[in-house]
Amino acid sequence: MHSLWLIPIFPLVGFLINGMLGRRFSKTVINTVAVGSVVLSFLWVLKALSALAPLNETYVEHYFTWISSGTLDIGFDFAIDRLTMVMLLVVTGIGSLIHVYATGYMAHEGGYYRFFAYLNLFMFFMLTLVLAANYVLLFVGWEGVGLCSYLLIGFYFLKKSASDAGKKAFIVNRIGDFGFSLAMFLIVISFGTLDFQKVFAKASTISPEVQYGSITTICLLLLVGAIGKSAQIPLYVWLPDAMEGPTPVSALIHAATMVTAGVYMIARSATLFERAPIAMDVVAYIGLATAVMAATIGLVQNDIKKVYAYSTVSQLGYMFLGCGVGAFSAGIWHVVTHAFFKALLFLGAGSVIHACAGEQDMQKMGGLMKKIPITFAVLFIAAMAIAGVPPLSGHYSKDAILMAAHARAPWMYWVGVVTAGMTAFYVFRSIFLTFFGEYRGKAHPHESPAVMWVPLAVLAVLSLIGGYAFNIPEFLSPVLPMHGGVHDESLATIATAAGLAGILLAAICYLFVPSIPGALASAFAPIYQTLYDKYYVDELYNVSIVKPIANGSREILWKGADVGVFDALVNGAGTTSMALGGLLRKMQSGNLRTYASWVLIGILLVMGGFAVYGGAK
């Protein structure tokens, strides 16, 4: 036994200590507990891995039988294979860095202990998710990280937008979770187990013509779950709003770890997806569409965190594309490199915001290069990495995905290349707007303390060498064999050129001829406005789903029911559910004789039911 359970338990203990006693602790104690617990689990991961190396086979630890009902047995099991190992290192490693950073970033915030308690709880659930040896335990982590994400997004709960964003994240994710739970039930029906190894073993033996239909359904439902968690079309709307949370949260949860859980889950279920070609195609299309759409929105945003948020959505789209074209390990590679450079981008952005006294609008920044040079340096590296400039980390993983996409269908590659160009453009746009030119704000920018920039420096190193140093697909080849996608120099060069072209274009627009963006925006005002307003998707959802249902039911009820119903509706307001609820609660009119009538009606209905089905005998 290697006591894998200790890995998630450390942060849980941290959560319990800080959550229960944190109010009485000094900040030093809280920091020690919070950071220490995550670092401990990082160290324990290293220890377990060195003991388990080379980890060619899955290593399972069975703790106890969690549930046994009929033929179904679900164990409280943790398993570790190379895929898990990669994720564990990313989660605990990046997690430790971000915890350290947060001690500096949150130093002056209220609810300090609460913040770190939630953050530790998040780590516990995220590690449970990654270590789980079956779908149910994975679901435990899945729900848990969602809950923590929601608590942390709404951390500044005095801001209405923050608590609204928290609720939005929770509600949108419920849709995904619903798909996931349905998928689990279908897996039980089809395979009689939820254990990863058993499910995949059975899936690989059953004959194609019998079971492919149900596997496709299962995969599509799993995909619904993944779409919610990893913010893909059409459920991506919560992620940009989630930036209302503190910046370390955006970096840890909404860039590096939780949002990649969907990708991890798909890669984990690769055996199933490979037997469901239709589902694979859907994954690829959704990923590609999300990548393009989010990148176009990112082109014109002015809030620095919003730019990176849409960039995250777009990069997650890349990862989905990778999985969808069969290059699961390339997708995971991108998860890893993205964790480096996107965490860096967010933390750097946090440092910028910190320096500008809370300002997030890039139009009120500028010229920060000299004032916060370290932040500038690391952000510049991160931007190079995401733009795919060789030999930085992003270059390798993005190339791997694009090669695989080309093998699947050349047009996917070309769309991906264009998106890569846009990515380079918007990320350098943010760099140029923030650090070059003249300072346009009113605050007095200052460099962040060492606790904040040291983690940045570490991440910067990882972003620099992470792609070259860690050849994830090769490492993962025993778990996730790489299909297709022969490395083609000319294709790779084109992709790199697209990135460089994006950078160049951004430099022209925002450094040399600053009049171009304004001219373009006014020349293509409708397009610009559409992009700026994010394709009006939020409005579209409001107009097409929320309002018609509310209006429709109001109309019907206005005509069909008494004014009391209408009043209740207006007061309760909102959605169909509310309207339906308003209608249903009217059953409970408070009047005794009405109740008696309901009982009588019920009696007649029940007797009628028995009679109808009795007659059908």
Instruction: Give the Cα-Cα-Cα angle 343, 115, 256 (nearest 5 degrees).
Output: 20
Secondary structure class of 533 (helix, strand, coil): coil
- Of the candidate residues 29, 43, 46, 182, the single one contacting another protein (CB under 8 A): 182
The phi, psi pair for 361, rounded to 5°, reads -85, 120
* Candidate residues 469, 543, 546, 601; the one interacting with another protein per rule CB under 8 A: 601
Q: CB under 8 A: which stretch of 352-360, 362-370, 539-547, 581-589 binds another protein?
A: 581-589
Pick the closer one to another protein by CB: 513 or 546. Answer: 546
Give the residue with the Cβ less far from another protein, 81 or 177. Answer: 177
Nearest distance from C-beta of residue 220 to another protein, angstroms: 15
Report residue 43 CA to chain centroid gap: 25
- Picking from 145, 155, 151, the residue whose alpha carbon sits closest to that of residue 123 is 145
Candidate residues 57, 109, 189, 562; the one interacting with another protein per rule CB under 8 A = 189
CA-derived radius of gyration, the chain: 26
Stretch that binds another protein, among 174-182, 277-285, 344-352, 403-411 (CB under 8 A): 174-182
Interface with another protein, residue 66, by CB under 8 A: yes
Q: Pattern of binders to another protein over 108-137, x per CB under 8 A? A: ------x---------------------x-
Q: Per CB under 8 A, which region of 17-25, 314-322, 385-393, 406-414 contacts another protein?
A: 17-25
- Regarding 299 and contact with another protein (CB under 8 A), the answer is no
603 scored as a contact of another protein (CB under 8 A) = yes
CA dist 289 → 215, 232, 257, 258 (Å): 24, 9, 22, 21
Structure tokens given for 62: 């069975």
CA-to-CA dists, residue 375 to 158, 310, 460, 476, 556, angstroms: 29, 21, 10, 34, 58
Give the shortest CB-163-to-another protein separation in angstroms: 4
Instruction: Note whether 581 binds another protein by CB under 8 A.
Output: yes
Nearest C-alpha neighbor of 235 from the set 149, 176, 302, 295: 176
Nearer to another protein, 339 or 568 (CB): 568
Which region, judged by CB under 8 A, interacts with another protein, from 163-171, 304-312, 364-372, 497-505? 163-171
- In the region spanning residues 442 to 481, those forming contacts with another protein, defined by CB under 8 A, are none
**546: contact with another protein by CB under 8 A:** no
d(CA 466, CA 459): 9
Minimum gap (Å) between residue 10 Cβ and another protein: 18
Q: Which of 43, 147, 501, 507 binds another protein (CB under 8 A)?
A: 147
The one among 23, 370, 444, 446 contacting another protein by CB under 8 A? 23
Q: Of the two residues 178 and 436, which places its CB atom closer to another protein in the complex? A: 178
Are 41 and 35 within 8 A, CB to CB?
Answer: no
The DSSP annotation for 232-252 comes to -TTSTTHHHHGGGS-HHHHHI
**19, 367, 441, 449: which one contacts another protein (CB under 8 A)?**
19
Among 15, 59, 76, 510, binds another protein (CB under 8 A): 76
Candidates 154, 388, 466, 502: give the one binding another protein (CB under 8 A). Answer: 154
617 binds another protein (CB under 8 A): yes
Closer Cβ to another protein, 56 or 68, answer by number:
68
Nearer to another protein, 213 or 518 (CB): 213
In the complex, minimum distance from the CB of residue 186 to another protein, in angstroms, rounded to a whole number: 9
Token reading at 118: 């939630």
Dihedral sign computed on CA atoms, order 603, 606, 612, 616: negative
Q: Which residues, 6+ apart, have CB-to-CB distance to 226 below 8 Å?
A: 176, 232, 261, 262, 263, 265, 266, 320
Q: If binding is defined by CB under 8 A, does position 139 make contact with another protein?
A: yes
65 binds another protein (CB under 8 A): yes
The answer to whether the beta carbons of residues 191 and 214 sit under 8 Å apart is: no
Q: Which stretch binds another protein (CB under 8 A): 173-181, 238-246, 338-346, 387-395?
A: 173-181
Of the candidate spans 64-72, 377-385, 390-398, 411-419, the one that interacts with another protein by CB under 8 A turns out to be 64-72
Q: Which of 263, 313, 251, 265 is nearest to 119 (CA)?
A: 251
How big is the site for another protein, counted in residues (CB under 8 A)?
75
Which of 123, 151, 412, 498 is close enough to bind another protein by CB under 8 A? 151
Q: Report if residue 597 touches another protein, rule: CB under 8 A.
A: yes
Q: Is the dihedral of CA 478, 479, 481, 487 positive or negative?
A: negative
Give, as one character, the DSSP assignment of residue 445: -
Window 506-545: contact mask with another protein (x via CB under 8 A): ----------------------------------------
The reply to whether 144 sits near another protein by the rule CB under 8 A is: yes
Decide: is 572 part of the binding site for another protein (CB under 8 A). Answer: yes
Would you tell me the crossing angle of helices 27-52 and 6-21 to the nearest 10 degrees?
Answer: 170
3-state DSSP helix/strand/coil % of the chain, to nearest 5: 75, 5, 20
Is residue 596 at the binding interface for another protein, with CB under 8 A as the rule?
yes
Residues 215-244 that bind another protein (CB under 8 A): none
Please answer whether residues 306 and 241 qualify as being in contact, where contact means their C-beta atoms are separated by less than 8 angstroms.
no
Binders of another protein among 367-396, rule CB under 8 A? none
Q: Please provide the distance, in angstroms rounded to a whole number, between the alpha carbons at the two ends of the chain.
A: 59
Instruction: Give 469 or 606: the residue with its C-beta nearer to another protein.
Output: 606
Instruction: Identify which range of 95-103, 417-425, 455-463, 598-606 contacts another protein by CB under 8 A.
Output: 598-606
What CA–CA distance (Å, rounded) separates 417 from 469? 24
DSSP structural state of residue 363: G
Least distance from C-beta 73 to another protein, angstroms? Answer: 11
Residue with structure tokens 């939780």?
258
Q: Which is nearer to another protein, 104 or 166 (CB)?
A: 166
**Residue 271: exposure state from Cβ atoms within 10 A (0-12, 13-18, ≥19):** middle
Q: Provide DSSP, 307-347.
A: HHHHHHHHHHHHHHHHHHTT-HHHHHHHHHHHHHHHHHHHH
Q: Which two tokens stand for residue 9?
A: 């338990």
Q: Which is nearer to another protein, 186 or 255 (CB)?
A: 186
* Footprint on residues 479-508 left by another protein (CB under 8 A): none
> Cβ closer to another protein: 192 or 234?
192
Is residue 599 part of the contact set for another protein (CB under 8 A)? yes
